[in-house]
Amino acid sequence: MSGAYIPLWKSFGGSRPHSSGPRALLFTLECALGMTAVFFIGVFVHWFPWLVPVTALLCLLIVVPVALLCGFWQAATVSLFAVIVQSYLSARHAEFNPARDPANSITLLAFIGTALLVSRLSARVTEHAQESESWGGQMHDLYEFTRRTLQMNLHEEPGAQLAELVHEIFSFEAVAVFDADLHETYQAGYWAEDPQELAQNVYYFETTNDDPETGISRRVVRLGNAPVGSMVVRGDTSPLTNNAIASLIAITFDRYRSFANESRIETERRTEQLRSTVLDSLAHAYKTPLTAIRAASTGLSEMGRLSPAQSELVALIDEQANQLSDLTARLLTTARLDAGEVSVNAVSVAVAPLIEEVIASLGDRIASTKIDVRVPDEDLELCCDRQLMVTLLTQYIDNACKYSNFGTTITISVVEAKTEVIFSVHSFGPVIPMADRERIFDRYYRSSNSARRAAGTGIGLAVAKRVAVIHGGYVWVTSDEEEGTTFFAAIPASAQKRKVQ
């Protein structure tokens, strides 16, 4: 038999002896102290014979503390000595052979049983106390870890900070944290070998276990059901604590991603605002010299008496000045749309004359292009901002003229739906890849297939989209090698007079 117990050395705040010599000496000392107490009881009973009937009870008062404080074997030794003392005292007051008295065996068994029971109860209480103390310490460590993670600097990658915190707070021998998003492994403490491969294997194979032989615990760091990293620790810990640490690491990873996204969005917003301001300033600065150049070229043309070469140069100046003027107007419109300085001046506009006006304004740019206009209802009207709609349709038609195959027809159609009017411009030209069909309406973005076909700035379609949006509408494009490319703009039949948001 063996019993777990609260040893005497621990009761007095001592440290546990490690070698067999001191442990044997301690055992002897504990037995000697118990036997000395029993001996004094024997001496006391010898002086007061009337205590002989309760000698066993008095000895039991010694056996129980020995079992509680020292252990079962010490209590069993003291019990045997107590039975001997009791037999001696009984023999002095009765005429019988102590060795043959059956009461001695019963007394010995009672003492040993009591010692065993007390030592077991003591062991259980000790175990529960140690568990409570351990859980209390772990809960304190988890609280401290949670508090420190909330104070982390999210401007820096969290992996290295988390590895150091886990190593410091939980006193692990070694820690490794793998961040799958950044594909980086961070470590703290001493690793005999580089833990990068170990941590990555835990993530890729989703390994979660605790190895008591090596003291290594592995955990997959999950955000919901999705793995976002892994954690490997070596040291004294519990499975529940490891799970809690992995969950807190996952939460910190998520906080870092959210903070990074917010920072990036704010940076993009400020960059876009600055860019719009610069564009607006440049466009205004260009308007005055452009006006002078156009006036000069017009004056030279009207003077006459120019040679053919001079007339050609003047025409070139006038053509390029017009293109630069159009670009400046688009930049101004874009800047104002982005700044929310354009309001929808909604009036009733006849659709068919609106399209004819746009085609006429394009002039020489579409002179060699076949245009087919399809408006089923000549009396169809739309409540919109006329100038903004001219800008949208001009961009769509001009875009089709630039990129359509030579000799093909550009089809302009209008369809009236329940609550909206849908404009479409169809042409045959380079196919727009699926990946580009959303981004093609972003400012400065040009499809890879179209960029080589004609020069452009990537501004026009972005302006068209903003015009549709401030009317409460939307734009999209379809593109197929056989069916061709069609740009659509759906505008509500009745637009409110409001400012762009």
What per-residue confidence (pLDDT) applies to 96? 39
For the domain made up of 155-260, give the CATH fold: Beta-Lactamase (3.30.450)
Q: Each residue of 214-259: pLDDT tens digit?
A: 899 999 999 888 899 999 999 988 888 899 999 999 999 998 888 8
Task: Report strand pairing: 420-427 vs 409-416.
Answer: antiparallel
3-class DSSP state of 162: helix
Q: Each residue of 375-414: pLDDT tens digit?
A: 988 888 889 988 889 989 998 998 888 888 888 899 999 9
What per-residue confidence (pLDDT) applies to 307? 79
What per-residue confidence (pLDDT) applies to 109? 64
What per-residue confidence (pLDDT) applies to 97? 42
Percent of the chain with pLDDT over 70: 74
- Report residue 180 as tokens: 């799958």
Cα separation of 230 and 209, whole Å?
Answer: 12
* Among 58-67, 428-437, 491-500, the least confident range: 491-500
DSSP character string of 235-270 = SS--HHHHHHHHHHHHHHHHHHHHHHHHHHHHHHHH
pTM of the prediction?
0.44
What per-residue confidence (pLDDT) applies to 134? 62
Q: Each residue of 151-161: pLDDT tens digit?
A: 888 888 899 99
Cα separation of 250 and 56, whole Å?
Answer: 64
Residues whose CB falls within 8 Å of the CB of residue 63, separated by 6 or more in sequence, listed in order? 34, 75, 78, 79, 82, 111, 114, 115
Residues whose CB falls within 8 Å of the CB of residue 199, separated by 6 or more in sequence, listed in order? 176, 177, 178, 185, 230, 231, 232
What per-residue confidence (pLDDT) applies to 251? 92
* Among 84-93, 187-196, 435-444, the least confident range: 84-93
Looking at the DSSP bridge assignments, the partners of residue 250 are none
What per-residue confidence (pLDDT) applies to 99? 44
Looking at the DSSP bridge assignments, the partners of residue 226 are 223
What stretches of 404-473 show up as alpha helix (H) in DSSP? 448-451, 460-470
Helix axis angle, 72-91 to 55-69, nearest 10°: 170
How far CA 76 is from CA of 152, 283, 290, 452, in Å, comes to 58, 103, 112, 99
Given a cut of 80, whether residue 358 has pLDDT beyond it is yes
Q: Each residue of 99-130: pLDDT tens digit?
A: 445 555 565 566 666 666 766 776 676 676 66
CATH class name, domain 264-338: mainly alpha
Q: Which CATH superfamily does the domain covering 343-492 fall into?
A: Histidine kinase-like ATPase, C-terminal domain (3.30.565.10)
Residues whose CB falls within 8 Å of the CB of residue 481, separated by 6 or more in sequence, listed in order? 431
For 311, the enclosing helix (H) or strand (E) is helix 308-339
What per-residue confidence (pLDDT) applies to 112? 64
How far CA 226 is from CA of 205, 221, 229, 244, in Å, comes to 13, 9, 9, 17
- Report residue 316 as tokens: 């070139």
**Domains in the chain: boundaries:** 8-137, 155-260, 264-338, 343-492
What per-residue confidence (pLDDT) applies to 78? 77
Q: Each residue of 279-301: pLDDT tens digit?
A: 666 666 767 787 788 777 777 77
For 104, the enclosing helix (H) or strand (E) is helix 102-150
Cα separation of 458 and 293, whole Å?
Answer: 25
CB 186 within 8 A of CB 163: yes
For 176, the enclosing helix (H) or strand (E) is strand 174-179
pLDDT grade for 500, boundaries at 50, 70 and 90 = very low
